[in-house]
Amino acid sequence: MKILIAEDDPISRKLLQKALERAGYDVLAVENGKQALEVLASFEAPRLALLDWVMPELDGPAVCRAIRKRAEQPYAYMVLLTSKDSKEETVVGLESGADDYLTKPFNIEELRARLRVGERILLLEDRLVEARENMRFRATHDPLTSLLNRGAILDLLNRELHRSHRENKSTAVLLGDVDHFKRVNDTLGHLVGDEVLAEIARRLLSAVRSYDFVGRYGGEEFLVVLNSCDPAHGPARAEEIRKSIAKPIMTTKGPLSISMSFGVLQSSEWGPRSLEELLHGVDTALYEAKAGGRDCLRMAKPPTESLPPAIPPELLRHER
């Protein structure tokens, strides 16, 4: 494990470095507090640090305070080394953000034991961060396809629509539905249906840019958000995405020909309308693509005055 030593006395620094290297640590040694702060604030900084209290440029407690303000970085376990042994100084050191405090001269075996405590704390912290990220991922992603779930993709779409309107740009919204997907489940089983959905998700992600969004809208429907998409290029990009799906998919039951129909909407053509209106518009365009023979796309046209009556859900969802 990497460890930083910040000690201005060259002899003490060298002895401490040798002792820790013999203990199996990857040691980085510096001679003042400014250098220590630069190292601890860098990318992939050591997670363990031994800081002398009295150093040029910055003292040990000042380094601790500066690092604790950088909440975005992984946690660093910092131990202050000092000849000061009063209770008041101990309180000052710990309140500066240090995790432990060792008075000089110290026993090297005691130092190793305290560092092992620090390693256990860092391991626990890493596990908590991993658990938090797993919970966040499960809350925002679809478990089958690992795409954004409906709530997450709609939240990002809403944010992107506001941004594009503010910056006078256009967002392309694609709502796609797998053609005749019910037949796949009915004839080959739901496990094969899951294979198809997972592969479609992979192909959709491969067909868009890293800063575009793809989400599972529900069932066999997928929502694709193309950020900052020129209206002149939107239909062509949507057609490329459709073609990326219209290729045989290998399943456990053999190759399967699959296609998707898409409704496509350019936000700049609709103006500052609500998310619900835009979703209704692109859903209507998707229905038109289904009615037009499937495996195609239709552009959503904004109503001139008010939205037409909503298409009954049972008609929209019937044998797509």
Taking alpha carbons only, the member of 225, 243, 228 closest to residue 295 is 243
User: Please, what is the Cα angle at 173 between 281 and 181, to 5 degrees?
Assistant: 80
- Per-residue HEC secondary structure of 138-184 comes to HHHECCCCCCECHHHHHHHHHHHHHHHHHCCCCCEEEEEEECCHHHH
CA dist 36 and 45 (Å) reads 10
Q: How far is CA 301 from CA 61, 91, 267, 278, 307, in A?
A: 63, 68, 10, 10, 11
Q: Which H or E element spans position 39?
A: helix 33-40
In sequence order, what are the residues at sequence separation of 6 or more whose Cβ sits closer than 8 angstroms to the Cβ of residue 35?
6, 57
The answer to whether 320 touches 179, Cβ cutoff 8 Å, is yes
In sequence order, what are the residues at sequence separation of 6 or more whose Cβ sits closer than 8 angstroms to the Cβ of residue 176?
204, 221, 222, 223, 224, 241, 242, 245, 260, 261, 262, 263, 286
3-state helix vs strand vs coil in the chain, percent to 5: 45, 20, 35
Which residue in 7, 160, 199, 220 is the catalytic one? 220
CA dist 277 and 144 (Å) reads 29
Whether residue 220 lies in the annotated active site = yes
The answer to whether 44 touches 73, Cβ cutoff 8 Å, is no
In sequence order, what are the residues at sequence separation of 6 or more whose Cβ sits closer than 8 angstroms to the Cβ of residue 105?
none
CA dist 298 and 287 (Å) reads 9
CA dist 203 and 77 (Å) reads 43
The answer to whether 224 touches 259, Cβ cutoff 8 Å, is no
The set of catalytic residues is: 220
